Amino acid sequence: MPPLRHHKVALAPDLSELDERAARAWTEPMAVRPLGGGCYAVESESDREYTVDVLDGRCTCPDYRYRGVRCKHRRRVAIEITRGRVPPPGKRVADCAHCGHESFVPETADPPLCEDCRVEPGDVVVDRETADTLVVERVRSARADEYVIEATGRTVAAHPTNHDYPADDVVVDAVYLGDSLRADDPRVYAFPYSRLSRTEDAAVV
Ligand SMILES: [Zn+2]
Ligand SMILES: [Zn+2]
């Protein structure tokens, strides 16, 4: 989601100040659908569909292709991105793999995690069971009751110390901070997401 802005703003421009194409970008009924890779399909009022490439500044409509103007479709996509109605280039709409909240996440994020739940490789986290400090290696899209720990032949959820954590948690691979400082190739352990708290959360507890 775009950051909340607390200062006073007008949401619509003064249409009388805009040229015709700019005004139509605001007022015409159009449907904008993200296609990924910075491209958006724009269904116009006349039911024609054009593709806008935001990164290249192109559109497939005649106005852009033959007249080279900044068409209403390009403007409309910019408006919808700015207002948070469609994700900006590089992001997509996804349900968070942990809390289910729908938000814009990096296009390549797998599993998708919302801003509140996001953990990334290199993040320092604390094991709620032992208070050990660990460093995140990766977040897996597999659930704790699906992912089998090779050393034990059991799933992460089936591990005795993980019984108190949701079986449908995503799995987080992490190494103990001490190991990561001492060894070049520290052993990686798999945890249910909820067992690890981010250090800023841990400081509150
Ligand atoms: Zn166009
Ligand atoms: Zn979330």
Say whether pLDDT at 164 is over 60.
Answer: yes
Cα-to-centroid distance, 51 and ligand 1 (Å): 8
Domain ranges of the chain: 15-82, 124-204
Pick the ligand that lies closest to the CA of residue 30: 1
Give the model's confidence band at 4: pLDDT under 50 very low, under 70 low, under 90 confident, else very high.
low
Question: What pLDDT does 15 receive?
Answer: 86
What is the whole-number distance in angstroms between the Cα of residue 99 and the centre of ligand 2?
4
Report the SS3 class of residue 155: strand
| Average pLDDT of the residues in 122-149 | 96
Q: From the CA of 78, which ligand is nearest?
A: 1
User: Taking residues 189-205, what's their average pLDDT?
Assistant: 79
Residue 119 binned pLDDT confidence (cut-offs 50, 70, 90): very high
Contact 52, 73 (CB under 8 A): yes
Q: Which pLDDT does position 204 carry in this prediction? A: 46
Q: Render pLDDT for 68-90 as a digit per residue (tens, 0 to 9).
A: 888 999 999 999 999 999 999 99
Q: How remote is the CA of residue 114 from the centroid of ligand 2, in Å?
A: 4
pLDDT in the model for residue 14: 87
Distance 103 CA to ligand 1 centre (A): 27
Helical packing angle, 72-82 and 20-27, nearest 10°:
50
Q: How far is the C-alpha of 188 from the C-alpha of 191, rounded, in Å?
A: 10
Task: Give the ligand whose atoms come closest to the C-alpha of residue 117.
Answer: 2
pLDDT of residue 184: 87
Report pLDDT digits (tens) over 178-196: 998 888 899 999 999 999 9
Mean pLDDT of 20-31: 92
Kind and range of the H or E run holding 128: none
pLDDT averaged over every residue in the chain: 91
Query: What pLDDT is stored for residue 3 in this prediction?
Result: 56
Asked whether the predicted pLDDT for residue 202 surpasses 80, the reply is no
If you measure from the C-alpha of residue 153 to the centroid of ligand 2, how many angstroms do you get, rounded to a whole number? 29
- Please tell me the distance between residue 34's alpha carbon and the centre of ligand 1 in angstroms: 15
Percent over 90 (pLDDT), the chain? 79
| Predicted local confidence at residue 33, as pLDDT | 96
Q: Is the pLDDT of residue 53 over 60?
A: yes
Q: Minimal CA–CA distance to 72: which of 101, 95, 43?
A: 43
Beta bridge partners of 94: 103
Task: Name the pLDDT band for 149 (thresholds 50, 70, 90).
Answer: very high
Closest listed ligand to the CA of 44? 1
pLDDT of residue 205: 41
